[in-house]
Amino acid sequence: MTRVTLIPGDGIGPEVTAVMKDVVAATGVKIEWEVQEAGMHVFERVGELVPASVYESIERNRIALKGPITTPIGKGFRSINVALRKKYDLFACVRPVKSIGVVSSKFSNVDLTIFRENTEDLYMGLEEEVSPDEMRSIKVITRANSRRICVAAFEYALLHQRPKVTVVTKANIMKLSDGLFLDVARDVAKDYPTIKLQEILVDNMCMQLVVKPETFDVIVTENLYGDILSDLCAGLVGGLGFVPGANLGKDMAIFEAVHGSAPDIAGKGIANPTALILTSAMMLRHLGHTKEAAWIEEAVDTVYRDPANFTVDLGGSLGSTAIGLKIIQAMDELKGNAYGQKTVG
């Protein structure tokens, strides 16, 4: 049995987390969830968004799954996610973006994965005030950090038999910083002769993604561009409610849905748990449970092929629990087909 730190978060976090746990349990994989509380409700009680006990649990288990956490405005952390990435050197933000059922009316064949460098670029927060009328943000790109994210992207492409890696920069303008990232990608590509390296400027990439997203396989890019492209790509497949995510380091991984805590609908039972359910599949695959991860992903796709199963955010009527049950039922049928008999969830 694997012990995983589980941070339900706040807002809709506890609701979608509960549904996710039921789906994981239905796969038969034994997970011991070590629940740790963090978020606004904790901040209001103890003055900390993330208590020390949360960090201790993550460091003990080396793997965590977290729901959305509200970041207070004007106090506390700039971002909980950024804080965790920096603290544990989670250098790779990995976001698979794939068409699901008939959720998107515009695109039905999107299947790409974004590798976003997670530790530097403008997100380091290095800013200075030159004068009351001039502010500067300092962009930092290093060879070492560029190399490890590029290697991660190419290794993923090799493992998953993807023929192409697209490197996204603005190296025509930022010739030193983005130029370095591009040079590193070119150098890494030499070690993977069976994989094509495609070079695209970020503005052109935005256009290409909304015109022909099906032409892309693996995308590797810097922190800021990766943040923007990740949300753009989510829009191609129905929104952030359908995109899982992982932050990976050398020997630690934190998995998370990329959507917010949506406090306006918390407690109403209508939050869509699909992104966190797909995130749990990423976690299971990371742990070596490839078959069970595929069950979840295939079940989600099967359920969303029927508009009658659409959740409230898609204009349907199914709430959090109902869509979870639909996914479990679909997964049971997949398991039954695999074993020649129907299993009981």
pLDDT in tens, 23-62: 999 999 999 999 999 877 887 788 777 889 999 999 999 9
pLDDT band for position 197 (cuts 50, 70, 90): very high
Please state, rounded to an integer, the average pLDDT across all residues of the chain. 92
CATH of domain 1-103+238-345: 3.40.718.10
Q: Provide mean pLDDT across the span 247-263.
A: 92
Does residue 90 sit in helix, strand or coil?
A: coil
pLDDT over 60 at 78, yes or no? no
Length of the chain, please?
345
Residues of the chain with CATH 3.40.50: 124-236
List pLDDT tens digits, range 224-247: 999 999 999 999 999 999 999 999
10 Å Cβ neighbour count for 193? 7
List pLDDT tens digits, range 313-333: 999 999 999 999 999 999 999
Q: What does the pLDDT read at residue 43?
A: 78
pLDDT band for position 343 (cuts 50, 70, 90): very low
100-109, 131-140, 301-310: range with lowest mean pLDDT: 100-109
Is residue 127 within 8 A of residue 135, CB to CB? The reply is: yes
List pLDDT tens digits, range 283-309: 999 999 999 999 999 999 999 999 999
Q: What does the pLDDT read at residue 344?
A: 36
10 Å Cβ neighbour count for 107? 17
Q: Provide mean pLDDT across the span 82-90.
A: 87
CATH of domain 124-236: 3.40.50
Residues of the chain with CATH 3.40.718.10: 1-103+238-345
pLDDT over 70 at 337, yes or no? no
pLDDT over 60 at 77, yes or no? no
Instruction: Show which residues are catalytic.
Output: 123, 170, 203, 227
Which among 267, 339, 329, 336 is positioned nearest to 302, based on CA atoms? 329
Which among 256, 255, 237 is positioned nearest to 314, based on CA atoms? 237
Q: What does the pLDDT read at residue 169?
A: 98
pLDDT band for position 71 (cuts 50, 70, 90): low
Q: Provide mean pLDDT across the span 97-114.
A: 94
Q: Provide mean pLDDT across the span 68-84.
A: 69
